[in-house]
Amino acid sequence: MAGDSKRLFETFNLVATTLGAIFLGLATAFVVGAAYNERFEGNSLPIWQITSGAALLVGVACGALLFRRRKKETGGTTVGIATDDLFYVPDSSISVWLKPTDGSTEQIRRATSDIPILLIANLKGGVAKTMLSANIAAYFSTRQEAPKKVTLIDLDYQGSLSKMIQRDLPLLSNGESAEFTVACSVESLFDRDLSDSDCLLRAETDFEEFKSFRFYSCDYGFDDFEVIRQFEWLAGIEKHDVRFLLRERLLSEEFQKNSDIIIIDTGPRLTLGSVNAIAAATHVFVPTTTDTRSLEATRTFLARLANLKFGPEQVEDGDPIAPNLKVIGAISTIVSGGSAAEESNSRLERTLEQALYTEDRLGALLPPRPLFFPTRLRKAGPIFDTAQTSIPFWSSNNRKPFKEIGEELESRLIHDCFTNF
Ligand SMILES: Nc1ncnc2c1ncn2[C@@H]1O[C@H](COP(=O)(O)OP(=O)(O)OP(=O)(O)O)[C@@H](O)[C@H]1O
Ligand SMILES: [Mg+2]
Sort strands 88-90 and 76-78 into parallel, antiparallel or unpaired.
antiparallel
Report whether residue 377 contacts ligand 1, using a CB cutoff of 6 Å.
yes
Q: How far is CA 203 from CA 37, 142, 217, 393, in A?
A: 88, 18, 9, 22
Residue 373 per-residue DSSP state: -
Under the banding of pLDDT at 50, 70 and 90, the label for residue 389 is confident
Q: What is the SS3 string spanning 55-111?
A: HHHHHHHHHHHHHHHHHHHCCEEECCCCCCCCCEEECCCCCCCCCCCCHHHHHHHHC
- Topology, domain 103-415: Rossmann fold (3.40.50)
- The predicted-structure confidence for 105-128, as pLDDT tens digits, reads as follows 989 999 999 999 999 999 999 999
Q: What is the SS3 string spanning 190-238?
A: HCCCCCHHHHHHHCECCCHHHCCEEEEECCCHHHHHHHHHHHHHHCCCC
**What integer pLDDT is reported at residue 283 of this predicted model?**
98
Stretch 276-305: mean pLDDT = 95
* Nearest ligand by distance to the CA of 294: 1
Report whether residue 336 contacts ligand 1, using a CB cutoff of 6 Å.
no
Taking 60 as the threshold, does the pLDDT of residue 84 lie above it? no
- Say how many CA atoms lie within 13 Å of 300 toward its Cβ: 24
Strand partners, 152: 215, 263
* Among 378, 391, 157, residue whose Cα is nearest residue 265: 157
Q: Whose CA is nearest to atom 15 of ligand 1?
A: 128
Mutate to test the pocket of ligand 1, among 124, 130, 158 (most ligand atoms within 8 A of CB): 130
Other beta carbons within 10 angstroms of residue 323's beta carbon come to 13
Report whether residue 250 contacts ligand 1, using a CB cutoff of 6 Å.
no
Q: Indicate which atom in ligand 1 lies nearest the CA of residue 268.
A: 25
- Say how many CA atoms lie within 13 Å of 178 toward its Cβ: 19
Q: How far is CA 327 from CA 148, 278, 285, 354, in A?
A: 22, 11, 6, 16
Q: CA-based angle 145:149:154, to the nearest 5? A: 125
Under the banding of pLDDT at 50, 70 and 90, the label for residue 49 is low
Mutate to test the pocket of ligand 1, among 153, 288, 334, 335 (most ligand atoms within 8 A of CB): 334
**What integer pLDDT is reported at residue 66 of this predicted model?**
63
Question: What's the pTM value of the predicted model, to 2 decimals?
Answer: 0.78
- The predicted-structure confidence for 228-278, as pLDDT tens digits, reads as follows 999 999 999 999 999 999 999 999 999 999 999 999 999 999 999 999 999
Q: Whose CA is nearest to atom 11 of ligand 1?
A: 384
| Domains in the chain: boundaries | 2-74, 103-415
Ligand 1 centroid to residue 130 C-alpha, Å: 7
**What integer pLDDT is reported at residue 63 of this predicted model?**
62
**What integer pLDDT is reported at residue 177 of this predicted model?**
46
Q: How far is CA 171 from CA 150, 181, 309, 385, 386, in A?
A: 19, 13, 41, 15, 11
**Cis peptide bond prior to 401, omega within 30° of 0:** no
**What integer pLDDT is reported at residue 212 of this predicted model?**
78
Stretch 131-152: mean pLDDT = 91
Ligand 2 centroid to residue 121 C-alpha, Å: 9
Strand partners, 264: 119, 153
Ligand 2 centroid to residue 402 C-alpha, Å: 17
Taking 60 as the threshold, does the pLDDT of residue 176 lie above it? no
Q: Which residue has the higher pLDDT, 403 or 60?
A: 403
Mean pLDDT (the chain, rounded): 83
Stretch 370-378: mean pLDDT = 97
Taking 50 as the threshold, does the pLDDT of residue 179 lie above it? no
Q: Which residue has the higher pLDDT, 60 or 256?
A: 256
Ligand 2 centroid to residue 264 C-alpha, Å: 11
- The predicted-structure confidence for 189-206, as pLDDT tens digits, reads as follows 999 999 999 999 888 776
**What integer pLDDT is reported at residue 43 of this predicted model?**
54
Q: How far apart are CA 119 and CA 285, in angstroms?
A: 6
**What integer pLDDT is reported at residue 57 of this predicted model?**
77
Q: CA-based angle 393:399:405, to the nearest 5? A: 95
Q: Indicate which atom in ligand 1 lies nearest the CA of residue 160.
A: 17
**What integer pLDDT is reported at residue 93 of this predicted model?**
56
Taking 80 as the threshold, does the pLDDT of residue 325 lie above it? yes
* Among 157, 218, 146, 147, residue whose Cα is nearest residue 182: 218
Q: How far apart are CA 329 and CA 173, in angstroms?
A: 31
Range picked from 22-36, 93-107, 321-335 for highest mean pLDDT: 321-335
DSSP-assigned states of every residue in 281-334? -SEEEEEE-SSHHHHHHHHHHHHHHHHHHH--SS-SS---S-TT-EEEEEEEEE
**What integer pLDDT is reported at residue 278 of this predicted model?**
98
Report whether residue 383 contacts ligand 1, using a CB cutoff of 6 Å.
yes
Q: Give percent of the chain above pLDDT 90.
A: 54
Task: State whether residue 1 is helix, strand or coil.
Answer: coil
